[in-house]
Structures are given as structure tokens and as C-alpha cells.
Structure 1
């Protein structure tokens, strides 16, 4: 097989992963070293893929990967560009270990040469323009390595080339870090030290500073168990390579477009399920119940999706990992905001409770009617034999105030992060008021993580009021597949015996779930724009046709109001001011609690 010939990786992915791991373990000498081989590099060339594994092993052997990774994270924390810093580190690391590993294992040299040639060949058209020093530096570094040290370059490039060459003589990790830092500051951002800090200031960043920062944003679509640690691993893996990741991603996207069906093995599905469990808590359904719900709900546009039902990582964690601590911090922030707005919240609860109570009193009032059965009315006995409809009896028709059930469904996607505390408070106000008037209700949030739509249940329909506190466990992350969440919540609501069913949905009017080659995922069709809005609106209308009253409470930005109107029609509330929350929601609920015509 030609080195540059693309490889169809899915059929023997495990074999390719094992080959790369064996190279890494052999070179590093550490058979306990863990890594996630990037088999997608085989799409580019065999040499690139295998040399990538060799370099990761060599980096672990000659240098302290953890120390290097921590420096990279701290530099990015101090506002260095992730892509640019990775690029600079890749050049320096190749210079630092490339020759060492070849001298120790001469058989690697031919693979190394082929790797460099394939990179130059594949990335030539993607190389930055002549004005971009970074792109020209990479070309010069690779050509110099291919010509065994001989090279010719312009005078402007010479200082950068000398810095890269200096990396080849580094004896320890700190020396290598200093070279990378100098190259970044001179090539990428000459004003970095003045605007952000020296290397010493970068290294002085504490772990407390880092763990307070939300690294999930930098992890993009990747799975994370402990965000900071995973981001460090991601960076140290990326800097070990030399190839342009964008070219690899483009090839992978082309391959996915050619393949109509993505086959996910049971082992891959099990691994994804385990990761979801680690990040969102243990599911409260049995395996059989979960399969049944997936079979019933995940159809049509959602056919490649999965559902996951949980009471949250804080209630049912697998272990106390980073995500557990992160959720605990966000819960404390929600509670802090609640205490900060305590007076307003209490007033809203009181007003909404009173509004609901008045409506229920009216509904529960008895009404006396004349009938052909019941208690005899003496004053009407004269009608016997004189009227066809004598109706000499009086019957009392008792009102029913307990024939209602409510579902509160909250959008918990990452786009709600800036409003997280306010949304939690809104849900809490509704739940407290419904508890005060003893209307059964359930509160759940939803988000989509990989192909799993996570339904986080804070309280069940008939739980006591004390369970309302769980709403402050509300945490936002990832995407949102609103249509699937509404369909699933509606299914349970329709099983209830109460005659009047109400669903209140707190969302930002932006259904969005786009999956790009997530590992171990089924990769459903992108869920966004018109497709997502139409699907969400259709699920709302379907519930209304089944006599469920659906209210949308808009918790988003004004520019998304038109989308919210398309989804919910006239039954939606836009609440700009929390002080008016009870009045607006109360008006809608009162309308639903009116005596049926």
C-alpha cells in the first residue's frame, strides 16, 4: 500500500489503534501509558499515523508531558491563542525529539521522512500565504529535516529557525518550555509579555485559578470527565503531532459524506453510555425501561439519537469527579442568586400561589341543580302529574379542584449558561406555587450530549414540597434537541389520569444540536435552523391536539423572539423583569384552571 493511499478505517479500527499503541509503548518504555490513538490520520497516510504514535511515546520518554501540558494550559489561560501555541510547540517538540528517536531506533528514520513528505504534499495548498511567517517557518523546518540539516532561508526567518534548532539541544522539560515560550512571543505575539505576562507570571498561575475556569468550551464536541485534566491531555496529544489538524478534519468530513450509514458497535455504545453516566449521574431507569423509551421516542428525525434519564450527578454520582465538583459550584451559585433575590422570589411565589388558589376555589364551589334524582324539594311536588319534566329532586354538583397535572420542562443547553441562575429561580417559583395549592407536577431539564438527550428529573409529580430544592441542581451544558425532549416529556404527561394537562417549557427559542464526528456516537443529522424549529413546533402542536395546554416561557435574547413565536404561537410569555414573572405566568395558568365550558 502506498503511504499516501487513504485507508478505510472503520472495518479494522481496533487493529489500527493497537498498532499505534504498541509503537507508543515500545518507544516510551511505559506499558501503562494511556492514550487515544488518532486513527483518522490513516486517512492521510500510514506514515503520518504511525509516526504520530511514535512521537507521543518519545515525548513521554524524554520529557515530562504533564509539566509541558500544564504550561500550555496556563499560557492559554493567560490569553495565548490555542491553535498558535500548539503550532509553535509542535515545531519545537519535533526538533527536540525527532533526531533523538531516530538515533536510538534507526528504522524510524524512513517513516519519519515519508511522514514529512506526505505532510508537505498534502498541506502545500493549505499552507498560509507568503505574508504568514508561521506557515513559511513550518515549510522551512520540514525541508531542513528532509535535507539532513542543510537549508536556505530569508534573513527575516533566520531568528525563528535558530530558536527551533535550539530546541534540539534541550536537556529537560523546562528548557523546552522556555524555547516554546520565546518562539511564541517572538513569532506569534510580540506584545504578549507586555499585555499578559512573562513566562514566570504564566507559570505562577495556580491550579485553583485553572479549576475555576470552564475548560469545557475548549473541549468543543469531545467527551470530558474531568475538564481541566482532559484539556491538558488534549493539548499534549496535539503538540506531539506535526500535521495540520484542519486537513485531517476535512478528509474525515469527506469520508463521512461518502458513508451513508455509521455503524456503532455495542462496545462503542457502552463506552459512550459510561461517559454520560460519569458526567450526568446514574440513570434511574432499568436497562429494559431505557430501551423501551428509546424505541418509542427516538424515531424519524431523532432515529439516531438516544435518551438518558437521571436525577443528576449530585444525587446519584458514579464518583466525585471534576464534573461533580463543577455541578456543586454551579448549584451554590444558583442558591446564592436565590438568596440575593430572596424578597422578589418570595413575593412571586406568594402572588402566584394566591392567583392559583382563587381559581381553584371558584372551580371547587358546589352548584345545586334540579334533577330526576337526589334530595326531594317539597315546594316542587305540585309538578307531579302536571309536568313532563317534574324534576322534584335537587342534586349538588361538587366542583373538582384536583383534576390538574403540570409538567415544567427547562432548557439546560450551554446557551442558557449566562441566565442559569435566573432560569432556576423561575422554575422554582412555579414549583413552589404549584406545591402550595397541591397540584401534582414534575420538573425536568434537558440538554443533548453526544447523541444522548439527557432528561434530568428534579422532582416527580407527587413528590413533597421539600423536593423543590433540587431545582437548584440545574446545570447547563452542551446542545439541545427540543423536539425530542418535548415528545418524551409529553409521553409521560399523557399517561396521567388527570383530565387537564399543562406543560410549561422554559427555553431560549434556539433548538440546536449539531454533531461533528463525535467518537463513539451515531452522528444524527444536524438539528438546527428551520429543521429544528419546525420539528419543535410540530411536537408542541401535537401535544395541543391531544388536549395538553402548552405554554412557552421565553428565557433568551430578544433577537430569538421570532423563533419562539414560530414554535409556541400565541401561548408564550416573554418575561423581561423577574418581578412580573408571577403575574404573567399566573394569568396563563388561571386561564387553564377556569371551569370548562
Structure 2
């Protein structure tokens, strides 16, 4: 992937992580994408840390303190280093209690930080550096080796894990700076109260160029503040209140509108009006999905709000998917022809006149001798025939971030399947799905009765965010159940890993995290429910081998394991032919 495309994709991934942790889908932050090349764990944990601070504390107050401290004469690198350590300790336990996986991410980030920075931190007997080494060791092993003076400082740093207010974090950063970096700061520049008393007018008059890159010479004060803040924590959560003791986030009506605006901006405008979408939510989002919402869109390329990074990435991904199709064009066409012809033959066989003995129909002269001599009244031939229109298919593609590594394969699989159904003349609809915050986004590629040209839109497939498979299945089946065809089939292309990482949504009735065993059981229950309603459900699996057991539990015996694209038509065709034949 070209460097620019890689940066776009990576930036979106890290931002999704930050937005998910913070709960603020409107955050605009500066990310150090280049550091990801050196250590992905450092970059990802930094995003988690920023998002967590924005969630549990006030960025506004903390960011303003940092700017005012710099204005009063503080040395930037040392102040920011101390701020980073204090932010980590203030949020680490809080976020790890909610997300167990963060502990592992944090440890790996700390390992890479020690490997990368140990010599620099230990150099010149730097007290801040020694304290950071001890903090990193404690984060890795729960213990550390240091002299008594350093241990006293580290103990004070670790005490921030109990901090409940932004003021506590600010006071600790200020205290560390004045003791370890510049003991004369209060005498020469002022106390913390004097720092905080600096006015906005004073800040505007100050020449910030010393703190900016050479390329940012025209930056305003606001830009300076954003750059200072984003190196430590993300921009403020303007309309969100402090977390309650129960660690639930309270979201105002305006924040909810911002959430919807974010979805529009990054997934494209909805093709449903607000009232119709609300009716769908009331009917479908029930039970364990009662606090969720559905969002129906034709995608950001079709209905973009503005040409942001997500739009640019979607266009680039489309080009990559098209290129991948051209590279595998011969194999794709063979699969489409093979699968399409197989389905056509099966349907034609169903349309052939079938004659069976019956109690009515055309008389069989050779059987008339039975009249009055036997109780067998089947003296007639009855001709029966079914129509192609008896079948309708829905294709549901997992569009979550876990599919990113095989994104082009999934797009090509969906295209092959859709094109084959078009070739066979079977009405079908195609969706992809992913989940962000409380929304499960249903991205429509084609409707049931569109022409074959619509199949090409499937190459717009992109992957991001999480996946709430049970809700997506229920949403897709809702349209399928209203179709007039007698025989209904739903095909789901997935990796067998339902995983909606957002937890503790505001005021939720069902706060359980939709992942692991809980998510697999819910998805399997939804599959069983749909089958009881007369829908044949097939899972097409193209994930990792270790996830096969979850796929089996979800779909039972009705799942196809796709090891290579060349076998796609054979494996999927065998199942579909079985469905067509069994309806006889």
C-alpha cells in the first residue's frame, strides 16, 4: 500500500480507538503517525491514554494550565514529560478496569519505551528520567528498583491512580516540575495560583514561535494550544459531563446530535428519513440490543457530507479493490460462471414438468383395471412446476476493522457471489455492517431487483470499527422476511469474531460487553431464530483457523470455510445447490 494510503488508514484506525475509549466521536486530534513505524504499541496506547483522559477528566482545564505554565517560563520537554507520566497514572487503572485488553497493550508499550529511551532517560543523572524508568518498570512487573529519593517521588506519582479531579493532576504536575526541574520557579516566575491567573489577553500577546515547528510560523494561539494539548490528551469533551461514581458517561442531547453528525460525516448520509429510521430502531433494536441504533446508508462515496480523510480513504480503497479484481480477473470470472451456471441448472431442473400419480389429473388408461378391484385411487397423472422467483437471497458482509487484513478478498468474494446470483436471475440484496458507539451501520450496495451493473458497487467495500453480528443479522432478515418469495436465504461473510468493543454506554439497560462468549452466544441464538422463521442461514468463513470453533457454534453445519478464492464457487455453490434441491 502506498505510504500516503497507509497513513490515511492508520490515522483512521487510531482515531477510531481514541473515539471509542473517550466516547467523544467529535474529537479532532493531532496524531504522531510516524511513531507507529517505530512501535505500534506506543502509538496505540497513547491513543487509549488520550481518550481515557478526555473521558474521566477535563482536558480544557489541563490544557490551559500547560499553556500558562509555558507562558510563565517552564521548559517544554520536561513539563510535557511529567504531564505524560501523570496522565498515565491518573487514567491507567480506570480504563484497565473497563477494558482488560488495555493492560497488555500498556505493558507492550512500556517495554518498547524502555528499549527505545532507556539510555536517554538514564543519562546525566536526570531525576525526571530516573522517575520515568521506575514508573515503566513498575508498570511491567508491579515493582521497581530505585534509591529512596526516587521511590518517594514514584510513590507520589502512583498515588494519582486515586485522583478524581483535574485539579489533583494539575497540582501534582506543577509540584513535580517545581521540585525536580526548576526549584527556583516559584520564586522567579510565580506560584501555581499565579500561573492559573494568567489572562487570555496576556497569552494572545505572547510570541509562541519558540514552541512551534518552523513550518508553523503563522500558527495562532489556538493552534498552539491544540498542539500542546494533543501531545498529552485530546481536545475537550465540550458537552459531556464528568463520569459518575458508577463510571457511566452522561450524554446530553447536543452530544447525541454530534454523535449522529459523526456517523454521517464518516459513513455517508442515510437514505432513510428520520421517522422511518426511528421506526426501524423501535422494531429491531430490542433485548440485548435495546440500547443500540441502526444507521442505513449507501456509503460515503455515494452520499458524502464533505471530502474528509475517510472519504479520501474510501476512494483509495475502491481503487485498490478494483486493482485486486483486475489481478484476479480470470479466476473471478471462472467462479462467477461456475457458480452462476450451477444455480441456473438447479433452478431449471425445478422448472421442468414433474409428473406424479395422483387422485386427479390426466387419466392413466393402463391403471383403469383397478377401478372397483382395489382401494388405490391414484389413477391419474398430475403435472407440477415451481418458478425461479421462489428464491431470494440476502448477502451480509462483516465490514469491521478485524477484516482489514483481508479487505480485498472479502470485497471480491461479495462481488463474485452477487454477480453469480445476477447471472442466475435470483433477486438479491447486499449489505456490509460495522458498529461504532451505539450505531450499527448497514451499508447497502445493491437492492433485490437492481440490474447486474449494481454488483460493481460491492468493490466500494471498506472495513472499520467493531461488529455487532446479532443485530446486523436481525436487521438484514427484517427486509428478507417481507419479501414475497417462499424460499429465503441469508449468506453472511464473516470471520467468526463478533466484537462490539464499546462498553458502558450511557444509561444502558444491558451493560455487558458484546465480545467473546457473550457475543458468540447471541449471534448463534439469532441464527437459530431466523432459521425457525424459515430463513436458511449460511456462514461463509474466511478468518483465522483458531476462530473456526466459534464459526461452527454460530452456524452449525451450515458454514463454508474458504481457504482460497479459487475454491469459492465450488464450496458456496455446493451449499446453495443443496438449498435449491431440498426445497423440492
Give the C-alpha shift of residue 396 in structure 1: 1.8
User: For residue 76 of structure 1, what is the aligned residue in structure 2?
Assistant: none
Matched, 1:238 2:274: no
1:359 match: secondary structure: helix
User: For residue 569 of structure 1, what is the aligned residue in structure 2?
Assistant: 556
Give the C-alpha shift of residue 296 in structure 1: 1.7
**What are the within-5 Å matches in structure 2 for residues 83-122 of structure 1?**
none
Give the C-alpha shift of residue 149 in structure 1: 2.6
Q: In structure 2, which of residues 153, 159, 162 is the aligned counterpart of residue 125 of structure 1?
A: 159
**What are the within-5 Å matches in structure 2 for residues 498-537 of structure 1?**
498-515=485-502, 525-537=512-524
Listed one character per residue, the Cα deviations across residues 97-151 of structure 1 (whole Å, up to 9, x for unaligned) are: xxxxxxxxxxxxxxxxxxxxxx999745359xxxxxxxx9986523268854389
Matched, 1:361 2:348: yes
**What are the within-5 Å matches in structure 2 for residues 262-273 of structure 1?**
263-273=250-260
Matches of 2:553 and 2:224, distance apart in 1:
43
* Cα gap change, 1:481 to 1:328, in 2 (>3 Å): same
**What are the within-5 Å matches in structure 2 for residues 121-520 of structure 1?**
123-125=157-159, 140-143=176-179, 147-149=183-185, 173=209, 177=213, 236-239=228-231, 255=243, 258=246, 263-375=250-362, 393-515=380-502
Matches of 1:498 and 1:591, distance apart in 2:
18
Q: Check whether the contact 2:67–2:225 (CA below 8 A) recurs between aligned residues.
A: no
* Cα gap change, 1:484 to 1:236, in 2 (>3 Å): farther
Aligned length: 427
1:125 match: secondary structure: helix
Q: Check whether the contact 1:507–1:555 (CA below 8 A) recurs between aligned residues.
A: yes
TM-score between the two structures when normalised by the length of structure 1: 0.62
Q: Check whether the contact 1:410–1:446 (CA below 8 A) recurs between aligned residues.
A: yes
Listed one character per residue, the Cα deviations across residues 421-476 of structure 1 (whole Å, up to 9, x for unaligned) are: 00011111111111111111111001001111001010111111110011011010
**What are the within-5 Å matches in structure 2 for residues 539-554 of structure 1?**
539-554=526-541
Residue ranges of structure 2 left out of the alignment (5+ in a row): 1-49, 74-108, 121-152, 162-171, 188-205, 217-222
RMSD of aligned Cα (Å): 4.4
Q: In structure 1, which of residues 29, 53, 74 is the aligned counterpart of residue 64 of structure 2?
A: 53
* Cα gap change, 1:518 to 1:123, in 2 (>3 Å): farther
Matches of 1:61 and 1:276, distance apart in 2:
41
* Cα gap change, 1:568 to 1:385, in 2 (>3 Å): closer
TM-score between the two structures when normalised by the length of structure 2: 0.63
Q: Check whether the contact 1:449–1:478 (CA below 8 A) recurs between aligned residues.
A: yes
* Cα gap change, 1:458 to 1:57, in 2 (>3 Å): farther
Matches of 1:44 and 1:459, distance apart in 2:
45
Matches of 1:538 and 1:60, distance apart in 2:
60
Matches of 2:432 and 2:256, distance apart in 1:
23
Q: Check whether the contact 2:178–2:184 (CA below 8 A) recurs between aligned residues.
A: no
* Cα gap change, 1:338 to 1:236, in 2 (>3 Å): farther
Matches of 2:558 and 2:357, distance apart in 1:
39
Q: Check whether the contact 2:489–2:536 (CA below 8 A) recurs between aligned residues.
A: yes
User: For residue 11 of structure 1, what is the aligned residue in structure 2?
Assistant: none
Listed one character per residue, the Cα deviations across residues 396-433 of structure 1 (whole Å, up to 9, x for unaligned) are: 21233331111111100011011000001111111111
Give the C-alpha shift of residue 559 in structure 1: 1.7
* Cα gap change, 1:315 to 1:42, in 2 (>3 Å): closer
Matches of 1:456 and 1:305, distance apart in 2:
16
Q: Check whether the contact 2:468–2:498 (CA below 8 A) recurs between aligned residues.
A: yes
Matches of 2:408 and 2:522, distance apart in 1:
28
2:388 match: secondary structure: coil
1:594 match: secondary structure: helix
* Cα gap change, 1:539 to 1:271, in 2 (>3 Å): same
Q: Check whether the contact 2:430–2:444 (CA below 8 A) recurs between aligned residues.
A: yes
Give the C-alpha shift of residue 386 in structure 1: 6.3
Matches of 1:360 and 1:561, distance apart in 2:
32
Give the C-alpha shift of residue 360 in structure 1: 1.3
**What are the within-5 Å matches in structure 2 for residues 28-47 of structure 1?**
none
Matches of 1:254 and 1:523, distance apart in 2:
21
1:556 match: secondary structure: coil
